[in-house]
Chain A
Amino acid sequence: MLRVQGGDREAFAALVERHKGSLVRFLTALSRDRDRAEEVAQDAFVRLFEFSHRYQERGQFRPYLYRIAGNLLRTEDRKRRRRAILLKAFGGNGTDEAAPSPQTVCLQDELRVRLSEALSVLPLRYRSPLVLRDVEGWSYTDIARAMSCREGTVKSRIHRGRERLRRLLEPYWNGGRPWAE
Protein backbone atom coordinates (compact mmCIF):
# COMPACT_ATOMS: atom_id res chain seq x y z
CA MET A 1 0.00 0.00 0.00
CA LEU A 2 2.97 2.32 0.59
CA ARG A 3 3.98 1.83 -3.02
CA VAL A 4 0.42 2.54 -4.16
CA GLN A 5 0.54 5.79 -2.21
CA GLY A 6 3.64 6.64 -4.24
CA GLY A 7 1.60 6.17 -7.45
CA ASP A 8 2.98 2.72 -8.29
CA ARG A 9 0.37 1.26 -10.64
CA GLU A 10 1.93 -2.17 -10.71
CA ALA A 11 1.70 -2.41 -6.96
CA PHE A 12 -1.92 -1.30 -7.20
CA ALA A 13 -2.69 -3.93 -9.87
CA ALA A 14 -1.15 -6.59 -7.64
CA LEU A 15 -3.33 -5.45 -4.76
CA VAL A 16 -6.43 -5.68 -6.95
CA GLU A 17 -5.51 -9.19 -8.09
CA ARG A 18 -5.02 -10.33 -4.53
CA HIS A 19 -8.30 -9.07 -3.12
CA LYS A 20 -10.74 -8.95 -6.04
CA GLY A 21 -12.08 -12.50 -5.59
CA SER A 22 -13.04 -12.22 -1.94
CA LEU A 23 -14.42 -8.71 -2.39
CA VAL A 24 -16.65 -9.67 -5.32
CA ARG A 25 -17.92 -12.73 -3.41
CA PHE A 26 -18.65 -10.63 -0.35
CA LEU A 27 -20.52 -7.99 -2.36
CA THR A 28 -22.43 -10.62 -4.32
CA ALA A 29 -23.58 -12.22 -1.08
CA LEU A 30 -24.73 -8.79 0.11
CA SER A 31 -26.41 -7.59 -3.06
CA ARG A 32 -27.58 -10.84 -4.63
CA ASP A 33 -26.54 -9.32 -7.96
CA ARG A 34 -23.17 -10.38 -9.32
CA ASP A 35 -22.90 -7.68 -11.97
CA ARG A 36 -23.71 -4.99 -9.49
CA ALA A 37 -21.26 -6.53 -7.02
CA GLU A 38 -18.49 -6.42 -9.59
CA GLU A 39 -19.27 -2.78 -10.43
CA VAL A 40 -19.16 -1.78 -6.78
CA ALA A 41 -15.96 -3.77 -6.22
CA GLN A 42 -14.26 -1.98 -9.12
CA ASP A 43 -15.40 1.40 -7.81
CA ALA A 44 -14.08 0.49 -4.36
CA PHE A 45 -10.62 -0.21 -5.78
CA VAL A 46 -10.70 3.03 -7.81
CA ARG A 47 -11.64 4.94 -4.68
CA LEU A 48 -8.87 3.21 -2.78
CA PHE A 49 -6.34 4.42 -5.34
CA GLU A 50 -7.73 7.96 -5.52
CA PHE A 51 -7.68 8.44 -1.78
CA SER A 52 -4.65 6.27 -1.01
CA HIS A 53 -3.05 9.24 0.74
CA ARG A 54 -5.66 8.89 3.51
CA TYR A 55 -4.67 5.32 4.34
CA GLN A 56 -2.46 4.84 7.38
CA GLU A 57 -0.55 1.58 7.52
CA ARG A 58 -1.62 -0.30 10.63
CA GLY A 59 -1.96 -3.79 9.19
CA GLN A 60 -5.69 -3.27 8.61
CA PHE A 61 -5.84 -3.02 4.87
CA ARG A 62 -8.59 -5.59 4.28
CA PRO A 63 -11.09 -4.05 6.76
CA TYR A 64 -10.26 -0.63 5.22
CA LEU A 65 -11.02 -1.86 1.69
CA TYR A 66 -14.23 -3.64 2.76
CA ARG A 67 -15.38 -0.54 4.61
CA ILE A 68 -15.04 1.46 1.40
CA ALA A 69 -16.94 -1.21 -0.54
CA GLY A 70 -19.66 -1.49 2.11
CA ASN A 71 -20.18 2.29 2.13
CA LEU A 72 -20.41 2.38 -1.67
CA LEU A 73 -22.97 -0.43 -1.66
CA ARG A 74 -24.99 1.30 1.05
CA THR A 75 -24.98 4.57 -0.92
CA GLU A 76 -26.09 2.80 -4.02
CA ASP A 77 -28.82 0.96 -2.13
CA ARG A 78 -30.19 4.27 -0.90
CA LYS A 79 -30.20 5.70 -4.43
CA ARG A 80 -32.00 2.64 -5.73
CA ARG A 81 -34.63 2.88 -2.99
CA ARG A 82 -35.17 6.56 -3.76
CA ARG A 83 -35.46 5.77 -7.46
CA ALA A 84 -37.97 3.03 -6.69
CA ILE A 85 -40.03 5.46 -4.62
CA LEU A 86 -39.99 8.01 -7.45
CA LEU A 87 -40.89 5.41 -10.03
CA LYS A 88 -43.78 4.27 -7.89
CA ALA A 89 -44.92 7.86 -7.39
CA PHE A 90 -45.01 8.39 -11.13
CA GLY A 91 -47.02 5.30 -11.83
CA GLY A 92 -44.24 2.82 -12.21
CA ASN A 93 -44.12 -0.58 -10.58
CA GLY A 94 -41.78 0.70 -7.89
CA THR A 95 -38.74 -1.13 -9.08
CA ASP A 96 -36.12 -0.81 -11.72
CA GLU A 97 -34.73 -4.23 -10.91
CA ALA A 98 -33.46 -6.18 -13.83
CA ALA A 99 -34.67 -9.68 -14.48
CA PRO A 100 -33.36 -12.31 -12.02
CA SER A 101 -29.69 -12.99 -12.67
CA PRO A 102 -28.75 -16.17 -14.53
CA GLN A 103 -27.09 -17.35 -11.31
CA THR A 104 -30.45 -17.21 -9.53
CA VAL A 105 -32.27 -18.93 -12.39
CA CYS A 106 -29.69 -21.71 -12.46
CA LEU A 107 -29.87 -22.45 -8.77
CA GLN A 108 -31.47 -25.89 -8.43
CA ASP A 109 -31.54 -26.24 -4.68
CA GLU A 110 -34.75 -24.81 -3.23
CA LEU A 111 -33.16 -24.20 0.14
CA ARG A 112 -30.24 -22.41 -1.34
CA VAL A 113 -32.54 -20.24 -3.43
CA ARG A 114 -34.47 -19.41 -0.27
CA LEU A 115 -31.23 -18.74 1.56
CA SER A 116 -30.17 -16.29 -1.12
CA GLU A 117 -33.53 -14.53 -0.94
CA ALA A 118 -33.54 -14.50 2.85
CA LEU A 119 -30.07 -13.02 2.89
CA SER A 120 -31.11 -10.26 0.51
CA VAL A 121 -33.97 -9.11 2.77
CA LEU A 122 -31.75 -9.05 5.83
CA PRO A 123 -30.80 -5.49 6.78
CA LEU A 124 -27.29 -4.59 5.69
CA ARG A 125 -26.11 -4.11 9.27
CA TYR A 126 -26.83 -7.81 9.93
CA ARG A 127 -26.01 -9.11 6.48
CA SER A 128 -22.48 -7.66 6.26
CA PRO A 129 -21.03 -9.13 9.47
CA LEU A 130 -22.80 -12.45 8.89
CA VAL A 131 -21.32 -12.87 5.42
CA LEU A 132 -17.86 -11.77 6.55
CA ARG A 133 -17.94 -14.25 9.42
CA ASP A 134 -19.64 -17.30 7.91
CA VAL A 135 -18.77 -16.95 4.23
CA GLU A 136 -15.38 -15.23 4.29
CA GLY A 137 -14.21 -16.52 7.67
CA TRP A 138 -13.11 -13.20 9.14
CA SER A 139 -12.31 -12.71 12.81
CA TYR A 140 -14.62 -10.63 14.97
CA THR A 141 -11.80 -8.10 15.34
CA ASP A 142 -11.40 -7.58 11.61
CA ILE A 143 -15.15 -7.37 11.11
CA ALA A 144 -15.36 -4.71 13.84
CA ARG A 145 -12.64 -2.71 12.11
CA ALA A 146 -14.36 -2.98 8.73
CA MET A 147 -17.67 -1.86 10.17
CA SER A 148 -16.19 0.75 12.50
CA CYS A 149 -17.93 -0.67 15.55
CA ARG A 150 -17.10 -2.72 18.65
CA GLU A 151 -16.65 -6.48 18.67
CA GLY A 152 -19.60 -6.85 20.99
CA THR A 153 -21.78 -5.07 18.45
CA VAL A 154 -20.50 -7.36 15.72
CA LYS A 155 -21.37 -10.49 17.72
CA SER A 156 -24.78 -9.13 18.56
CA ARG A 157 -25.56 -8.33 14.95
CA ILE A 158 -24.36 -11.72 13.74
CA HIS A 159 -26.55 -13.40 16.32
CA ARG A 160 -29.61 -11.40 15.29
CA GLY A 161 -28.88 -11.98 11.61
CA ARG A 162 -28.72 -15.73 12.19
CA GLU A 163 -31.99 -15.63 14.13
CA ARG A 164 -33.77 -13.86 11.30
CA LEU A 165 -32.37 -16.20 8.67
CA ARG A 166 -33.39 -19.20 10.74
CA ARG A 167 -36.96 -17.91 10.97
CA LEU A 168 -37.11 -17.42 7.21
CA LEU A 169 -35.52 -20.78 6.34
CA GLU A 170 -37.08 -23.01 8.99
CA PRO A 171 -40.05 -24.01 6.75
CA TYR A 172 -37.55 -25.31 4.21
CA TRP A 173 -35.28 -27.07 6.69
CA ASN A 174 -35.75 -30.80 6.82
CA GLY A 175 -33.94 -32.12 9.91
CA GLY A 176 -30.51 -31.27 8.61
CA ARG A 177 -31.09 -32.20 5.03
CA PRO A 178 -32.10 -29.72 2.33
CA TRP A 179 -35.49 -30.36 0.74
CA ALA A 180 -33.93 -31.07 -2.61
CA GLU A 181 -32.54 -34.36 -1.28
Chain B
Amino acid sequence: MGRMNDEDLSRLLREMPREEPSFDFTRSVLAKVDARSRSGRRSRGAVVAWVGAALLGVFLSQGYLRERYQRSRAAARVRELRDEYRELQTELEKLRTLTRELEPVLPLGGTDDVEFVFDLRELARREGDRPRAEPAFHVPSDMPSGIEERKP
Protein backbone atom coordinates (compact mmCIF):
# COMPACT_ATOMS: atom_id res chain seq x y z
CA MET B 1 0.00 0.00 0.00
CA GLY B 2 1.52 3.25 -1.11
CA ARG B 3 1.78 6.16 1.25
CA MET B 4 -0.55 9.05 0.65
CA ASN B 5 1.48 11.95 -0.74
CA ASP B 6 0.71 15.65 -0.99
CA GLU B 7 -0.61 15.34 -4.51
CA ASP B 8 -3.01 12.55 -3.46
CA LEU B 9 -4.27 14.63 -0.59
CA SER B 10 -4.70 17.74 -2.73
CA ARG B 11 -6.63 15.75 -5.28
CA LEU B 12 -8.93 14.36 -2.63
CA LEU B 13 -9.54 17.82 -1.25
CA ARG B 14 -10.27 19.23 -4.69
CA GLU B 15 -12.71 16.39 -5.36
CA MET B 16 -14.75 17.16 -2.26
CA PRO B 17 -18.35 18.13 -3.04
CA ARG B 18 -18.44 21.75 -4.07
CA GLU B 19 -21.20 23.45 -2.16
CA GLU B 20 -22.94 26.27 -3.92
CA PRO B 21 -24.76 29.15 -2.25
CA SER B 22 -28.55 29.25 -2.31
CA PHE B 23 -30.27 30.96 -5.23
CA ASP B 24 -31.45 33.92 -3.09
CA PHE B 25 -28.10 34.43 -1.37
CA THR B 26 -27.52 37.96 -2.71
CA ARG B 27 -31.07 39.01 -1.98
CA SER B 28 -30.72 37.79 1.63
CA VAL B 29 -27.49 39.75 2.04
CA LEU B 30 -29.11 42.96 0.76
CA ALA B 31 -32.10 42.41 3.07
CA LYS B 32 -29.74 42.05 6.05
CA VAL B 33 -27.94 45.23 5.05
CA ASP B 34 -31.28 47.09 4.90
CA ALA B 35 -32.39 45.71 8.25
CA ARG B 36 -29.10 46.78 9.88
CA SER B 37 -29.28 50.28 8.48
CA ARG B 38 -32.90 50.64 9.69
CA SER B 39 -32.01 49.48 13.19
CA GLY B 40 -28.96 51.72 13.04
CA ARG B 41 -31.14 54.72 12.20
CA ARG B 42 -33.55 53.77 15.01
CA SER B 43 -30.78 53.39 17.51
CA ARG B 44 -29.25 56.66 16.28
CA GLY B 45 -32.64 58.29 16.75
CA ALA B 46 -32.89 56.86 20.24
CA VAL B 47 -29.40 58.12 21.03
CA VAL B 48 -30.29 61.60 19.77
CA ALA B 49 -33.48 61.58 21.86
CA TRP B 50 -31.60 60.50 24.97
CA VAL B 51 -28.89 63.10 24.43
CA GLY B 52 -31.53 65.77 23.91
CA ALA B 53 -33.34 64.74 27.08
CA ALA B 54 -30.08 64.71 29.01
CA LEU B 55 -29.18 68.21 27.77
CA LEU B 56 -32.64 69.48 28.66
CA GLY B 57 -32.25 67.98 32.10
CA VAL B 58 -28.90 69.71 32.48
CA PHE B 59 -30.31 73.10 31.44
CA LEU B 60 -33.33 72.80 33.73
CA SER B 61 -31.27 71.71 36.68
CA GLN B 62 -28.82 74.56 36.00
CA GLY B 63 -31.69 77.07 36.05
CA TYR B 64 -33.05 75.53 39.24
CA LEU B 65 -29.64 75.54 40.91
CA ARG B 66 -29.00 79.13 39.85
CA GLU B 67 -32.33 80.22 41.33
CA ARG B 68 -31.59 78.37 44.58
CA TYR B 69 -28.19 80.00 44.75
CA GLN B 70 -29.64 83.44 44.21
CA ARG B 71 -32.27 82.83 46.87
CA SER B 72 -29.72 81.68 49.38
CA ARG B 73 -27.57 84.72 48.62
CA ALA B 74 -30.57 87.00 49.10
CA ALA B 75 -31.46 85.28 52.38
CA ALA B 76 -27.88 85.68 53.60
CA ARG B 77 -27.98 89.38 52.70
CA VAL B 78 -31.24 89.82 54.59
CA ARG B 79 -29.65 88.16 57.64
CA GLU B 80 -26.68 90.49 57.38
CA LEU B 81 -28.95 93.52 57.21
CA ARG B 82 -30.96 92.32 60.19
CA ASP B 83 -27.79 91.77 62.24
CA GLU B 84 -26.61 95.22 61.28
CA TYR B 85 -29.97 96.67 62.26
CA ARG B 86 -29.82 94.95 65.65
CA GLU B 87 -26.35 96.31 66.23
CA LEU B 88 -27.46 99.79 65.33
CA GLN B 89 -30.47 99.43 67.64
CA THR B 90 -28.18 98.44 70.47
CA GLU B 91 -25.89 101.37 69.78
CA LEU B 92 -28.82 103.75 69.69
CA GLU B 93 -30.14 102.42 72.99
CA LYS B 94 -26.73 102.91 74.57
CA LEU B 95 -26.62 106.45 73.29
CA ARG B 96 -30.09 107.12 74.61
CA THR B 97 -29.15 105.76 78.02
CA LEU B 98 -26.04 107.90 77.99
CA THR B 99 -28.07 110.91 77.03
CA ARG B 100 -30.55 110.26 79.81
CA GLU B 101 -27.75 110.02 82.39
CA LEU B 102 -26.12 113.25 81.28
CA GLU B 103 -27.32 116.56 82.84
CA PRO B 104 -28.17 119.23 80.28
CA VAL B 105 -26.29 122.07 82.04
CA LEU B 106 -23.78 124.66 80.98
CA PRO B 107 -21.06 125.38 83.63
CA LEU B 108 -20.82 129.14 84.36
CA GLY B 109 -18.03 129.13 86.89
CA GLY B 110 -18.05 129.51 90.70
CA THR B 111 -15.93 129.25 93.76
CA ASP B 112 -14.50 126.46 95.79
CA ASP B 113 -17.75 126.25 97.62
CA VAL B 114 -20.28 127.04 94.92
CA GLU B 115 -20.57 126.10 91.23
CA PHE B 116 -22.96 127.99 88.94
CA VAL B 117 -24.53 126.16 85.99
CA PHE B 118 -27.15 127.16 83.41
CA ASP B 119 -29.90 124.59 82.93
CA LEU B 120 -30.32 124.22 79.18
CA ARG B 121 -33.80 122.83 79.67
CA GLU B 122 -34.85 126.34 80.65
CA LEU B 123 -33.73 127.48 77.24
CA ALA B 124 -35.79 124.73 75.64
CA ARG B 125 -38.82 125.65 77.75
CA ARG B 126 -38.43 129.27 76.75
CA GLU B 127 -38.40 128.28 73.11
CA GLY B 128 -41.48 126.18 73.58
CA ASP B 129 -39.77 122.84 72.94
CA ARG B 130 -40.40 119.87 75.13
CA PRO B 131 -37.48 119.17 77.39
CA ARG B 132 -35.40 116.31 76.01
CA ALA B 133 -34.01 115.14 79.28
CA GLU B 134 -35.45 114.47 82.69
CA PRO B 135 -34.40 116.82 85.56
CA ALA B 136 -31.45 115.44 87.51
CA PHE B 137 -32.21 117.36 90.81
CA HIS B 138 -34.52 120.00 92.40
CA VAL B 139 -34.11 123.62 91.30
CA PRO B 140 -34.50 126.21 94.13
CA SER B 141 -37.35 128.62 93.41
CA ASP B 142 -35.46 131.86 94.38
CA MET B 143 -32.70 131.39 91.80
CA PRO B 144 -33.14 133.01 88.37
CA SER B 145 -34.59 130.52 86.00
CA GLY B 146 -31.94 128.59 84.26
CA ILE B 147 -29.14 129.21 86.79
CA GLU B 148 -28.53 126.75 89.59
CA GLU B 149 -26.40 126.65 92.62
CA ARG B 150 -24.42 123.52 93.27
CA LYS B 151 -22.35 122.56 96.19
CA PRO B 152 -19.26 120.48 95.30
Residues of A within 8 A of B (CB): 9, 12-13, 16-17, 20-21, 24-25, 28-29, 34, 37-38, 41-43, 45-46, 49-50, 103, 107, 111-112, 115-116, 119, 130-131, 134-135, 162, 165-166, 169-170, 173-176
Q: Count of A-B contacts with CB under 8 A?
A: 89
Interface presence of B108 (CB below 8 A)? no
Return the 5 tightest CB-CB contacts between A and B, nearest first: A28-B19, A134-B13, A24-B21, A134-B10, A175-B1
Instruction: Determine the distance from Cα of A12 to Cα of B26 in the docked complex, in whole angstroms.
Output: 10
Whether B21 and A134, one on each chain, are in contact in the complex, defined by CB atoms closer than 8 angstroms, is no
- B2: chain A residues within 8 A (beta carbon): 173, 175-176
Interface presence of B15 (CB below 8 A)? yes
Partner pick for B20 among A21, A107, A130, CB 8 A cutoff: A21
Q: How many interface residues does B have (CB within 8 Å)?
A: 27
Residues of B within 8 A of A (CB): 1-4, 6, 8-10, 12-22, 25-26, 28-30, 32-33, 36
Whether B21 and A20, one on each chain, are in contact in the complex, defined by CB atoms closer than 8 angstroms, is yes
Whether A42 and B29, one on each chain, are in contact in the complex, defined by CB atoms closer than 8 angstroms, is yes
- A111: chain B residues within 8 A (beta carbon): 12
Whether A115 and B16, one on each chain, are in contact in the complex, defined by CB atoms closer than 8 angstroms, is yes
- A131: chain B residues within 8 A (beta carbon): 13
Instruction: Determine the distance from Cα of A103 to Cα of B16 in the docked complex, in whole angstroms.
Output: 11
- Tell me, rounded to whole Å, the shortest Cβ–Cβ distance linking A41 to chain B: 7
Instruction: Determine the distance from Cα of A58 to Cα of B13 in the docked complex, in whole angstroms.
Output: 30
- A103: chain B residues within 8 A (beta carbon): 17, 19
Whether B17 and A38, one on each chain, are in contact in the complex, defined by CB atoms closer than 8 angstroms, is no
Partner pick for A174 among B1, B17, B22, B28, CB 8 A cutoff: B1
Instruction: Determine the distance from Cα of A13 to Cα of B31 in the docked complex, in whole angstroms.
Output: 11
Task: Known A-B contacts: A50-B33, A107-B17. Give 11 more (CB < 8 A).
Answer: A12-B33, A20-B26, A25-B20, A38-B25, A42-B32, A45-B29, A46-B33, A46-B36, A166-B3, A170-B3, A173-B4
Partner pick for A169 among B4, B15, B16, B29, CB 8 A cutoff: B4
Instruction: Determine the distance from Cα of A101 to Cα of B26 in the docked complex, in whole angstroms.
Output: 23
Instruction: Determine the distance from Cα of A173 to Cα of B4 in the docked complex, in whole angstroms.
Output: 7
- Tell me, rounded to whole Å, the shortest Cβ–Cβ distance linking B34 to chain A: 9
- Tell me, rounded to whole Å, the shortest Cβ–Cβ distance linking A108 to chain B: 11
